[in-house]
Chains A and B, each alone.
Chain A
Amino acid sequence: MSTEPEWLVPASLDEALALRAERREGATVVAGGTFVGILVNSRLMAPEAFLSLQRVAGLDYIRGDGDLRIGALTTHRAVELSPVVRKGWPALAQAFSVVASPRVRNQATVGGVLADADYASDPPSMFVALGARAVARSVREEREVPVEELITGFYETSLEPDELLVEVVVPGGEHRAAYRKFRSRSHEDRPAVGVAVCRRPGELRVVVGAVAGTPQWFPELCDPEAPPAEVARSYAAAIDPIADVSGSAEYRRRVIEVEVRRALEAVA
């Protein structure tokens, strides 16, 4: 009868990239497995082959020299606990610390949470607010893409079928940032609304996650001088929220206004 799915387990990045170029969409990339595992178990996905990054060395690192560089196979837990991240980018450590449970955070990777483009995740909106860029590599080239351009829709990214996400770069420099996760159910739940804000000199970014296919950022509404309540109102009006088991669209709109205001007050 059926054959078990094929497991491709490259031991180096070069080998992984070669396999990626060869198999393209024919092999589903899996790192920590917390996202793909749910889809397979729910029978929403039945790949013929997996390209596992589990044995790929050299992509598990955090370097904070000026900019912050995080290897794609770094776990959520490592980011959450990293002294470098906590000191220089504490809001990012905070955004990773509120994902699911320690069991999940010990397994889920930074590359995974971006490449899955799951709308109901915490870290992507924080990365966008911080101005982070994803590094994509293929056998052809290496390129950088801003996270807001990486995630293009529900579970969709601008990664090419031969590319792997290998690193995330978060700009350093003076900033104040905050992440607020609003859960409507269990503490381990996904966000109903996630709000990431970041103030840099002369610049404000407000990004709302878990309410649409992509992190919602409206540069034209981010007047650094505007009172928090005003920015919050304009975000609530600008976003067309989805409805799911975590809350209705109308309810989410209300929470967006509350939580954007609170997040901005935290970095006032």
Chain B
Amino acid sequence: MTDARVTGAARYSEDVDLDGQLHARLVRSPFAHARVLAVEAGAVPSGCVTLLPDDVRGLARYGVQIEDESVLALDRVRYVGDVVAAVAAETPRDAEEAAALVQVDYEEAPPVLDVVEAVAPGAPLVHDEIALASGGAAYFGMRPQPGTNVCHRFQLHHGDVAAAWAQADVVVEETYRTAAAQHAAMEPHACVARWDGDRLEVFTGTQTPFNLREELARVFGLAPDRVRIVVPPMGGSFGAKTFLRTEAVAAALARKAGRPVKLVLPRAEEWQTLNRHGAVVTMKLGALADGTLLALETTCLADTGAYADCGPGVAQKMGFAAPGPYRIPNVRVDARCVYTNLPPAGAFRGYGQMQSAWARERAVDLLAERLGLDPLELRLRNLLRDGDVYCTGETMHDLHFAECLEASAKAIAWHEGREGKGLSVILKGMQTPSRASIRVEREDDGAYTLRCATTEMGQGARRAITLLAAELLEVEPELVRFPDPDTDLVPFDTRTTSSRSTYMMACALEAAVRDLRENGGAVGEGEALEEGGLDPDTGQGIASTHWHQGAAGAEVRVDEETGKVEVVRLHCAVYAGRVVNRAGAELQNEGSMIMGLGTALFEEVVAAEGQVTNANLSDYPVPSFADLPGRLTQELIERDGAEVHGLGETALPPVPAAVGNAVASLGIPVTELPLTPERVLEAAARVAEKVA
């Protein structure tokens, strides 16, 4: 089979062109925090269409979990890059030149640019009020803290932590940091919007067609079925293309212009559109002398930038996954999603769980060191096993943490010597609650068409679901068609995120094929529903109906004179259940590991006074093949007849911690990601100072 992606024939979101379309460019704030006094477009040539704040004042605010965004920033800009106006013209170049002619008067205000400062009393407020969202993506109770920059606070209480510290023989506590990062998908955000009367159609690269439809309908005051979203394949996303991004401004411009409007972001604007949450996580662990874990207490601060987006969900997952795959009788989690005057942060492969895994797994090694125990033995002694109850109160099943961890240890020859080696093990929740539905239609030529909202971003979901359908329908994969998701034609699906689609759609598909067989063979519909959710004040409930499980082992060399870390060996083992598409599963693991290496070693969004200073792929390098360890291997742990497990992210969160623990095994207790040579030397110097 010739893959269109290889031959260059594939068409992506960016390749959609509509007759008569104009091209848009955005006018962005140069200040991190300022009042907008006036926006003036008199110098823009008459052939261009401008969208100014007064054009959008009547439109509703949006935001999947907190309604804190408007189509354009109205009276206040909250980060360098906040959109104050937009211009559409015949060519992208004309639009860019016209955008430069829009005059904006600002009055600067003090910004808050650090997540720790943002939660301190008296910090400047990024938003005066925090309005809750009503849509389907606000699937848990929001707990904004009025009068602060905290837009959501998630707490988990399990047992009695205070009493446990007194019983512990050893207690360790440390603060760990993770830098903001950029998704750096090959294709930038790209969409085209057009109106047909009061009906809006948007062709866009998005992982969330139904959430986007709901949000656009709210913004423009339309019934959801008056909005149509069509999703061509994306040239990568990694979480960047979730929820409403550039579509509302394109749609508002198109309505004003009376013509379709296309908006493709220039690369540099990707850093101003969505990044990964930088985080500060404090982790305190207590254990008995034999290594039995007694208590874990953690505070997580997730820097969500100027707008919440799905940051509350990210902070909540960072929080509920922070205790990790361990039996711990006493747990206290306090996770906060915090506004700052930095570019917004949202979904990113690993979804908050890498940041808390970095802290916890480093702390577990610290504990092992204090106890004089082998870090592998300490973990194995405390890992959750089938039937154990997690700190959320849910009973855990089908657990394979020990297998993943032991496989990782074996791959790096842990038992032959631990110097320069590190291990980590993680659990990762899947979107819960969630619903997936699919329709299978038999065509006259004997082929079948899948009506399915699962979007393709290079992760191979389309291939996996096609293969599953072919197997269930007992036809060759070539006879299964999977057109681009179109909300007019496909049944509802929560979204293509959190490594849920292969699993959820597999369940829905089985039901649909059953339905097709039972009802004459022409059409079958199927649905899969997962109920659950957590109480945000106690952290009790069902965090995830389906847990992703993974572990990593790393071996490093550190140049003691320069601090440069070289990863010579990296292995990840993940629980895969039943594998649908082996090549795709292996590539997902490898991709996750490589992305994890970037996070571990050098990826970092750098800002000065709120302005990102490395917003290009020369100053913000992502891993190249030459950065890979000499040996990079992955392993799918399988069970015949088991459930299908999503694999899109599982191998990312354990990687930075495994690398960090490997560095720490050489006496360099690193606490901050990425592990740049400079930070490694600083960590080594702190030890030297203490010894002195």
Contact = CB atoms under 8 A, between A and B. Distances in A.
Contacts of A258: 561-562
B483 interface: no
Nearest to A183: B564
B577 interface: no
Contacts of B98: 1
A187 B627 contact: yes
Contact of B89 (A1, A189, A255): A1
A255 B560 CA distance: 11
A182 B562 contact: yes
Given A1-B45, A1-B89, A248-B678, A186 B624 contact: yes
B267 A41 contact: yes
A42 B562 contact: no
A205 interface: no
B94 A1 contact: yes
A41 B268 CA distance: 9
Interface residues of B, number: 33
B624 A188 contact: yes
A interface, over-half SS: loop
B93 A254 contact: no
Contacts of B159: none
A159 B69 CA distance: 52
B298 to A, nearest CB: 30
A101 B624 contact: yes
Contacts of B614: 245
Interface string A195-215: 000000000000000000000
By CB atoms of chain A within 10 A, which of B601, B619, B626, B627 has the most? B619
Contacts of A38: 616, 618
Contacts of A259: 562
A187 B624 contact: yes
A2 B93 contact: yes
B624 A185 contact: no
B626 A188 contact: yes
A247 interface: yes
Nearest to B89: A1
B101 to A, nearest CB: 10
A43 B269 CA distance: 12
A4 interface: yes
Interface string B562-587: 10100000000000000000000000
Nearest to A1: B94
Interface in A73-118: 101
Interface string A31-59: 00000001001110000000000000000
B interface, over-half SS: loop
A86 B445 CA distance: 63
Contact of B47 (A1, A187, A188, A251): A1
A187 B629 CA distance: 12
Given A1-B47, A4-B93, A255-B562, A188 B621 contact: yes
A245 B617 CA distance: 13
A182 B678 CA distance: 12
B602 interface: yes
B97 A1 contact: yes
A184 B621 CA distance: 11
Interface in B617-634: 618-619, 621-624, 626-627
B676 interface: yes
Interface in A147-173: none
B94 A184 contact: no
A22 B681 CA distance: 54
Interface string A246-258: 0110010011001
Contacts of A69: none
Contacts of B613: 245
Interface residues of A, number: 24
Given A41-B267, A42-B268, A255-B562, A186 B622 contact: yes
Contacts of B619: 245
Contacts of B622: 186
Given A185-B676, A186-B602, A245-B614, A2 B562 contact: no
Contacts of A101: 624
Contacts of A248: 678
Given A184-B602, A184-B677, A2 B94 contact: yes
A133 interface: no
Contact of B621 (A4, A43, A182, A185): A185
B606 interface: yes
A143 to B, nearest CB: 33
A184 B564 contact: yes
A188 B602 CA distance: 12
By CB atoms of chain A within 10 A, which of B45, B266, B627 has the most? B627
Contacts of A190: 618
A248 B89 CA distance: 43
A248 B676 CA distance: 11
A254 B562 CA distance: 8
B272 to A, nearest CB: 13
A2 B606 CA distance: 34
A228 B626 CA distance: 30
B94 A187 contact: no
A4 B676 CA distance: 42
B627 A186 contact: yes
Given A251-B678, A258-B562, A185 B602 contact: yes
A247 B682 CA distance: 13
A1 B99 CA distance: 13
B558 to A, nearest CB: 13
Given A1-B89, A251-B681, A184 B623 contact: no
A266 to B, nearest CB: 15
A4 B90 CA distance: 14
Contacts of A187: 624, 626-627
Contacts of A188: 621, 624, 626-627
Nearest to B598: A186
Interface string B584-612: 00000000000000100110001000000
Contacts of B621: 185-186, 188-189
Contacts of A182: 562, 564
Interface in B90-128: 90, 93-94, 97-98
Contacts of A255: 562, 677
Interface string B673-687: 000111001000000
A245 B179 CA distance: 14
Interface string B263-275: 0001110000000
B665 to A, nearest CB: 22
A144 to B, nearest CB: 32
A185 B561 contact: no
B112 to A, nearest CB: 23
A118 B680 CA distance: 28
Contacts of A189: 602, 621
Contacts of B564: 182, 184
Closest 9 pairs between A and B when the two form their complex, measured CB to CB? A186-B621, A185-B602, A187-B626, A258-B561, A188-B624, A251-B678, A1-B94, A187-B627, A2-B97
14 contacts: A1-B45, A2-B94, A185-B601, A185-B602, A185-B621, A185-B676, A186-B623, A186-B624, A186-B627, A188-B621, A190-B618, A245-B613, A251-B677, A251-B678
Interface of A: 1-2, 4, 38, 41-43, 101, 182, 184-190, 245, 247-248, 251, 254-255, 258-259
